Amino acid sequence: MSERILVVDDDEYSRGYLAILLRASDYETFEAVDGQDAYEKAVATDPDLILMDIVMPRLDGFQACALIKAEERFADTPIIFLSSKSDTEDKIKGLDIGGVDYITKPFDEGEVLARVRSQLKIRGLTKELRQANEKLTAKQLHLDEDLKAAGEIQRSMLPAFTPHLGNATFGWKFHPSDQVGGDIFNVIPLDNDLVSFYVLDVSGHGAPSALVAVSVTQILQSGGNMCLLPGVEKSNQSLLASPVEVLSSLDREFPIERFDRYFTMFYGCLNVHTGELVYSAAAHPPPLLLRADGRCELLEEGGSIIGLVGKVPFTQGTVRLEPGDRLFMYTDGITEYEDAQGNFFGRERLFGLVKEHGGDSLDRLLDTVYESLMQFGQERDPKDDVTMLALDFGPSD
């Protein structure tokens, strides 16, 4: 389809000459005899480009240009002025009111055609860019909706309430860096005596990492929570899968080569009455065990990342929680959070806050840590997910 050009000039000879020149170059032309006629013809023909004289009756070229450009549909329509007026002020005025070029009469045929081709090419590229942006915007809106839905699914897999199980009370705080994140955690009662809990952090960010996190959660929550050996009833506690068995099974199920992701994880199984805790950590930041008397211990038994398919065996540790003890678990989105100067929040600062506020309620402690984190970074959005899971061990109600 030929590109359409509107030629506006009150001089019949000049107007006709330009129309013949343009048609010879395979453009479709329309003609207008003055500024008012130019506006009406532009509305009727929707030209791809307008060649506009300036000195004309009724509306001059400047007035016609302003009137045409006031219509949103002509925002990208290039207007080239052709005029015997050669003053710099006239050229500036023409460009200021919406013209894209200015050619002084008498003009050269080759120059006119070159300017026309150039402006039509720019218009075509602008149109393509706008259409591409519109498609990208539509795709982004669709992606945002999908991410929002995925985020809701992910959050639905987090604990829906603060569990108080026997002598153990849990609390948590979770802030994904995107609508969906690679961190996830849960607390899963196994029977009247035992509760399992975990915190994991999938490498990377966004939907791919979140999908891995959700998949792990579904496995841990299905068919006896994977804390039971296959075919074993919950009542037979002696055959519960150990933390090492849980991590080893996940290590086989989520090889790096298949998912292009790995994850770190802390997994524990607690007797909520006796305080016996069996745990294993897959390259996850070691939790801080804050004893009631102020002593601190790090739970460091474990192994490498999940995803190596058995190349590095896992180990597990056992500790006994006493009344008044507190266990603080977290992901590295906290310790690696940076301020404007690139300084890390760090483990020392984090543990100092946990010790200082060891007498606060769990909710108050978690709020204090997060508020201190944001203050440290001057409210900068975290680049990684921020997750905290903590438990208090004390006398049962």
Q: Where is mean pLDDT largest: 53-62, 250-259, 314-323? A: 314-323
Task: Assess contact for 49 and 119: CB atoms under 8 A.
Answer: yes
The confidence score (pLDDT) of residue 64 equals 94
Least confident window among 92-96, 102-106, 140-144: 140-144
**Is residue 4 classed as helix, strand or coil in its secondary structure?**
strand
Work out the percent of the chain whose per-residue pLDDT is above 70.
88
Query: Nearest to residue 396, comparing CAs of 252, 302, 310, 274?
Result: 274
Q: Domain 157-393 adopts which CATH fold?
A: Phosphatase 2c; domain 1 (3.60.40)
Rounded (10°) CA dihedral 300, 304, 306, 310: -120
Amino acid of residue 315: T
pTM, two decimals, is 0.64
pLDDT tens digits for range 168-215: 999 999 888 765 668 889 998 888 888 999 999 998 777 778 788 888
> If pLDDT is split at 50, 70 and 90, which confidence band does 149 have?
low
Choose between 41 and 227: higher pLDDT: 41
The confidence score (pLDDT) of residue 379 equals 87
**Is residue 230 classed as helix, strand or coil in its secondary structure?**
coil
d(CA 193, CA 196): 10
What number is the average pLDDT over the span 133-159? 69
In the chain, where the domains are located: 4-130, 157-393
What number is the average pLDDT over the span 237-265? 86
Q: Which residue has the tokens 């977290």?
A: 330
The confidence score (pLDDT) of residue 154 equals 62
The confidence score (pLDDT) of residue 182 equals 80
Task: Assess contact for 157 and 217: CB atoms under 8 A.
Answer: yes
Q: Tell me which CATH homologous superfamily contains domain 4-130.
A: Response regulator (3.40.50.2300)
Nearby residues of 182 by Cβ (< 8 Å), 6 or more positions away: 201, 202, 203, 204, 205, 209, 210, 212, 213, 261, 263, 385
